Amino acid sequence: MNMIPEHMHGAIKRYVEDGIPPGSFLEAVLCNDLRNAVLKADDINKSHLVQWVQFLMWEVPAACHGSEKAYEIWIGMGGLNGKN
């Protein structure tokens, strides 16, 4: 997780593990909504958008991001822990 801003670690961990919805910036990133990601990003996240894309590609399950539908399904199933 060292490629994304430290203040975002808790939000992405809660989302991936338990399907807990994050804030509006991370929701936009997870839904592949570049426009809203840029508009809702704080200065730190705005400068890390490339790292966010790389992190999602390499570090989290593909099923939890990429579209609004994938995002909603992931929340509905309770993330990784909801699968058990």
Q: How far apart are the first and last CA of the chain?
A: 24
Residue 84 lies in a domain: no
Q: In the chain, how many domains are there?
A: 1
Residue 83 lies in a domain: no
> How confident is the model over 35-77, as pLDDT tens digits?
999 999 999 999 999 999 999 999 999 999 999 999 999 999 9
User: 10 lies in which domain range?
Assistant: 6-77
Which positions ≥6 away from 22 have C-beta within 8 Å? 11, 12, 14, 15, 30
> How confident is the model over 17-40, as pLDDT tens digits?
999 999 999 999 999 999 999 999
Residue 45 lies in a domain: yes
Which positions ≥6 away from 27 have C-beta within 8 Å? 21, 71
